[in-house]
Each structure stands twice: as C-alpha cells, then as structure tokens.
Structure 1
C-alpha cells in the first residue's frame, strides 16, 4: 500500500455518498474512488451468500485500481467484514462500529432503522447489547428496506417521501434517539425529523470519516500532497440518473471521471 493511492469507498448505491462527503471534508487531500453497485441494489433484501459474492467482486475492483484501503460505506456490507478479511490484503473498514460508538453518546430509548439483512445479521443487537445503560432502556429494530428503493428512485424531499417515512414510523413512540443504520437513510433526515423533531439522529458519516482518518494516521498512510484530491465515480448499472443525484448529494463537487465499473476494469 502506498499513501498516494486512492481510498476506495463502496456502497450498493447512493447512500455511501453521504460517507464520501464527510471523508472528503475531513481528508481534503485524499483521492477517492467511489464504486456503486447499483445494478444489484438494494443489498438489504439479498441473501448473505449473494451479498458476499457482490462484495468479493468489489474488493477485486479496488485491488485492480489499486486502492490503499476500502471503506464499506454500507451497513449491510459492513456486517460481513469478518467474512471477507481473509480474501484480501487491503484493509477493510466499515460503518457499523463507528455508528455504534456514536450511539453510545445518545439516550436510552433507541430505534434502529436498518435493512432486513442488517437486522437479520444481529450486528447492531450484539454491539448495542454490550452497552450497559442500554439494558435499562429500550431498543426497537425497524426494517426499512423500502426507504432504499425509494431513495434510489430519486424520491427525496417530496410529498411521497414524507408520506412513506411517516407511515413507516407511525408505530414508534417515546424515542430519544434514532440510529440511521443504513447510509441511505441520511437522505431522509428531514423526513424523519418531521416525525420525531426532538429525537437525536445518529448516522455514520462523520463517525466513519474520523475512524478512517485515525487509521490512516496510525498506519502512516495519509496522502502528503497539499492540493485538493480528486473523486472518481464508478457504477455498475444505469448511469445518468445516478450522476444527477450524486451531484445533488455532493453539492457539485467535481468528478475526475465517471465510468461504468465494468468498463473501468477493462481499462486497467
């Protein structure tokens, strides 16, 4: 691994761009390669074996770039990190640990919003269950995979998205904290806030970015260059609508290139 190599960031679609945005803000001199497997999205409804197969392909993609590490900016992918570490020499960092660490600062009555695959993995249940003060409160786990599908369709900050979120959360009450255990859900922060205006919303972007920075510093992998880094965007499926939404999420941050992942792999 060389410090000037890019940081690989992976998600099944748009959600990880929120993590990339925080990484870019905290590490402006780093180059980033973002891979979105939107052809196989959403991951949250897939089986464990299907997800691992997708992730192995993503790892090979980043090895071929080459990247210096991979950030799985996807909760569903992150819960399978332990199953993947033997498959590559690249460091693999996820979002679940940093998100749980951030949740430690929150209240006692939590709702964890996640995909079906994340909830079924038991990752958040195991980690949050180790925190003593949460044992005296209550934690509700709510499967919200339909949020991912709606977001990927571009339903953001509109009447339909507000109605979807309001209906899904209608059975919850007495919450002081809501954990957004899917990086896509950050894009519904406004809609969730309208339903629970007083609850603290915990998401993975900043916590994950800080975790990555600590890792780079500890392992002497920070890029030494002074000028601003670049972002390369790769996707596996339909391109035009993804690019428009990516520009919207990243507030116009420029892209060095934007190729389909298959084509990019052939060029290397």
Structure 2
C-alpha cells in the first residue's frame, strides 16, 4: 500500500463489523479505511480465548502491514477475548506508536444513560456472554445497574444465511427475548452486543416490549472514535484522509462481496488476503 495512505483499520471475524464501519464512515467520511474480515475462520464466538487472541493478533499485524496506525476491533468477541492482551502484551514491543481499540469500552461508558429502571439486558454470542466483559466494564461506570445477559447462538447463522428477514427467524428472536425478559420484566434497555444483530432489529422490536430502548453499537462507536481522534491529535495526524475504502477477506471474495453488501449497505468489491 502507498506509504502516504495510512488508513484506519477495522477488523471483524466476518461481516458484522461492516455495520460498525458503515456508521463510522457516515460520521467520519474523510478518512481512509481498510476493512479485514477473517471469514475463512469465522465464527469466533465459539472459539477459546487463546485461539481468538492468536487469530485477532495475526489480523491486526496484517492491518499494520496495510499502513494502519489505528485499528478498531469491530467484533465483540475479539474485543472481549483479545484486546487487553494485544494492548498490554503486544503493542509495547510490536508497534508502540500504534493503537488498537475495541467496541466494548465505548459502549459501557454510555449505556447507563439510556435506562430509567436501572435494568439492562445484553444480547450477545455465547463467547461474549461467557467472558463477562460487559458485566465487568459496565460495573466500572454504572455500578448501580442490574445486568441480565442472554446468549443467542442461532442469531449469527440466521443473519449470515440470509434468513434475518424470514418468518423462520421470528421463533428464535422471540425465544431469546422471552428468556431475557423472564429474568426481569423491569428491563427497559436492550444492548445488541453483536455486530450482526442490527440486521434483526425489526424482529427484535416486534418481540420486545413496546417501550424498550434498543441500542446498536454502530453510532456509539462512531461517536467514540470521533471523540478519540479529537482528543488525540497526534493519532489523527497519522490517519490519511483521501476518502478511500479497501475491503479484505481471508475467504472467497465473491461470497464476501455478496454478503458484505447487505451489512455495509452499498456494493463492496473485496481483495483476498492469504494468511
């Protein structure tokens, strides 16, 4: 890649991070971005902490090779299982001048502002729920909140198989909303703690109580990134601004382009990356 192009890297195990990138581009269109989907090894949600860490670090290294000075892990599982190790163990020796950020911390910093009852439901993959990452991080900012988690293992396959708008998805969405609400009928805020779930948001609204606040992460992350760049002008100065978009996938580009167009909201043309 041209040395003058130092894009912001956005990483996900598959397609879901494109819902984050879409919001970031809308908020900050002037920057260059390179998106990397590790589709050949998805899903990450069922993999061990060590496996997710090693896969994520490998992909972060590739994004550094693409000239990225700043990388966003637009993947809840990678943020939960790999971010801390990468920040604390790898960056100081691997690339001390570069930064890797996740999607969990920005979300937990604001989530308490949306709930009136003080009871929040978290819908996520099994890996994210098991990690307790949201519970730990929210406790730091809003210790008074009561949190209720529900793992939704069928939701990502539904989305990636194009069934997110089908009547068949209704059953699985309602099943998990009902299970979550059974934990407490006072839950008034739902966090979609997986980047695939925004494609199911219409069905989630239908299954949830009518007064429920439903939060997707895209706009939260976009606003957080904008604030971060404003607070760190030295990082902002290293990010090139030519309105360029590059998409990389570790699997079939034809499959990626077809699916990515749904998540990103406009046509995508990707390049294959061999790991």
1:224 deviates by 6.8
Match of 1:116 among 89, 107, 126: 126
8 Å contact from structure 1 (residues 10, 58) kept in 2: yes
Distance 1:144 1:67 in 2: 33
8 Å contact from structure 2 (residues 150, 179) kept in 1: no
User: When the two structures are aligned, how many residues end up with a matched partner?
Assistant: 255
Equivalence map 1:34-73=2 (5 Å) = 34-73=35-74
Relative distance call for 1:82 and 1:3 in structure 2 (3 A) is farther
1:206 partnered with 2:219: yes
**Partner residue in 2 for 1:194:** 206
**Partner residue in 1 for 2:16:** 15
**Partner residue in 1 for 2:90:** 87
Q: Could you state the TM-score of these two structures normalised by the residue count of structure 1?
A: 0.88
Distance 2:137 2:64 in 1: 30
Deviant stretches of 4+, over 3 Å: 222-225
Q: Could you state the TM-score of these two structures normalised by the residue count of structure 2?
A: 0.86
Distance 2:220 2:4 in 1: 22
8 Å contact from structure 2 (residues 122, 191) kept in 1: yes
**Partner residue in 1 for 2:30:** 29
Relative distance call for 1:132 and 1:219 in structure 2 (3 A) is closer
**Partner residue in 2 for 1:141:** 149
1:97-123 residue CA offsets vs partner (Å, 9 max, x unmatched): 111123111221211111122122221
Equivalence map 1:110-259=2 (5 Å) = 110-130=120-140, 131-134=142-145, 138-173=146-181, 174=185, 175-196=187-208, 197-220=210-233, 221=236, 225=241, 229-252=243-266, 255=268, 257-259=269-271
Distance 1:162 1:38 in 2: 26
Q: What is the RMSD computed on CA atoms of the aligned residues? A: 2.0
